[in-house]
Amino acid sequence: MTHVKRAFKFRFYPTDAQAAELSRTFGCVRLVFNKALAARSEAWTMRRERVTYNATSAMLTAWKKTEELAFLCEVSCVPLQQALRHLQGAFSNFWQRRAGYPRFKSRKKSRDSAEYTTSAFRYRDGRLTLAKMAEPLDIVWSRPLPEGHSPSTVTVSRDAAGRWFVSMLCDDSTVKPLPVLDTAVGIDVGIASLVTLSTGEEIANPKHERRDRERLARAQRELAHKAKGSNNREKARCKVARVHARIADRRRDFLHKLTTRLVRENQTVVIEDLTVRNMLKSKPLARAISDASWTELRTMLEYKCAWYGRELITVDRWFPSSKLCSACGTIAAKMPLNVRQWACDCGAVHDRDVNGARNILAAGLAVSACGDGVRPQRNTPGGRSSVKQEVVPPQRKRAAAQPRG
C-alpha cells in the first residue's frame, strides 16, 4: 500500500551553541545557492552553456578547497548539496514554464532554512540530533509522528519573528480514503462571508488582519522611528514580524479546520477557478482579498481531497454563477458587486452568494455526470492533476470553435 508523504512541523528551542551552528549553516546554504545561480546564469549569458547539477556539485568541492571559502567545510555538507538540488528544481520549473527565473537569496528577506537527509541526522526514541551537533534538539512535540515511521527528511527553519521550527517528512499510513458519501457541495468565496455553501450556510470571514490592524500599525510606526542598523530597530522589526506571524497562524488554523470539515462531510466539492493574482490589482479590495486567502483555501482543498478520496471540481472563472438564475436558467444583464439580492423575471428572489454557490454545484455535477465542457487542469509539481475537471461556459466554447482571422 502506498503511503502519503506528510510533513509534521514542530517548534523547538535551540541552545546557544545550536543556534550559532544553525545560523552558520543558513548563511552557507544561502551563499552556495547564490554562487551556483550566478555561475549558471553567467555560463548561459556568456557561452549559451547549460550547467547541470553535477557541475555545480563539482564547483562546490572546488570552493571548499579555496582559502576564501574554506569555512564551508565547518558545516554539514548535506544542506549545501540540498541547496544545489533546490536550485536545479527551480531551473526545471522555469524551463517548464511553471515559475519565473530563479532569484538570489537575500540575507534580510529570504527565509532561513536548511534541509537534512537521513545521512545528516539521527532520530531515536523521539530525540532528533543533527549533524555537527552533540545534543538533540529541544522539540515541543505537539503531536506524535506516525507510529512505526521515521522521518526521511528534516528541514530546520527560522522565521522573521525569530521562532525556530523543524519539519519532518514521514510516510503517514493513517491518511486513508474516507467512507463514500452521497453528498456534494458548491462553494462561493467572498469577503463579507468567506464561504457561502450551496446548502445556504454562510461562514463569516474572521478578518484576522483587520482585527490586528491597529496593533500592526502601532508596531510599524515604532519601527519607522528607529535608526537603521541599531539594536532597537532590530527589536522593533521582530515586534512587527510577531504581529504578522500571529495573523498568519490564526488564518491558517481557521482554513485548516474549515477545509477539513468540508472534505469530511462531502464526497464532491465544487469551487470556482478565480484569478486571485489579477483581482489583487484592484486597490480598494486588494487588502481584503489578501486577508481572505482564497488561494490557500483552494490549495488545502486540493491536497485533502486527494488524501481522503474526495472529488474536487473547478468551474471556469467565466461561468456566470452570480447572474444565472438557479430556478429558471435566465442570465441577468448586469450584476454589480453592490447588489446582494435580486429578483428574476420568473419570480424567484435570490441571495447573490447562495445563488452563485448553487449554480456552481449544478455546473460541477453536470460535468461530473456527462463530461461536458471538460478541459485539462493545471498540474501539481508532482506531475499529477490535482482536480478532476473544469466547467467551460457555452459562450467560451462557441468562441473557441470560431476560426481566428
Name the catalytic one among 112, 115, 188, 202: 188
Q: Across 66-150, where does the E strand assignment appear?
A: 112-117, 121-124, 127-130, 139-140
Q: β-strands 311-315, 390-391: how paired?
A: parallel
Q: Across 173-310, where does the E strand assignment appear?
A: 184-189, 193-197, 202-204, 268-272
| 214 given a catalytic annotation | no
Helices within 48-112 (DSSP H only): 53-64, 77-95
Mapped onto helix, strand or coil, the DSSP state of residue 366 is helix
Which strands, in side-by-side order, build the sheet including 390-391? 202-204, 193-197, 184-189, 268-272, 311-315, 390-391
Dihedrals phi, psi of 257, to nearest 5 degrees: -65, -40
Q: β-strands 112-117, 153-158: how paired?
A: antiparallel
Q: How far apart are CA 33 and CA 195, in angstroms?
A: 41
Place of cell 472563472: 317
How many other C-beta atoms can be found within 10 angstroms of the C-beta atom of residue 170? 20
Contact 267, 182 (CB under 8 A): yes
| 272 given a catalytic annotation | yes
- All 3 cell numbers of residue 149? 515511521
How many other C-beta atoms can be found within 10 angstroms of the C-beta atom of residue 233? 16
Contact 361, 385 (CB under 8 A): no
| 345 given a catalytic annotation | no
Q: How far apart are CA 168 and CA 375, in angstroms?
A: 36
Name the catalytic one among 112, 272, 291, 390: 272
Q: β-strands 268-272, 184-189: how paired?
A: parallel
Q: Which residues are catalytic?
A: 188, 272, 353
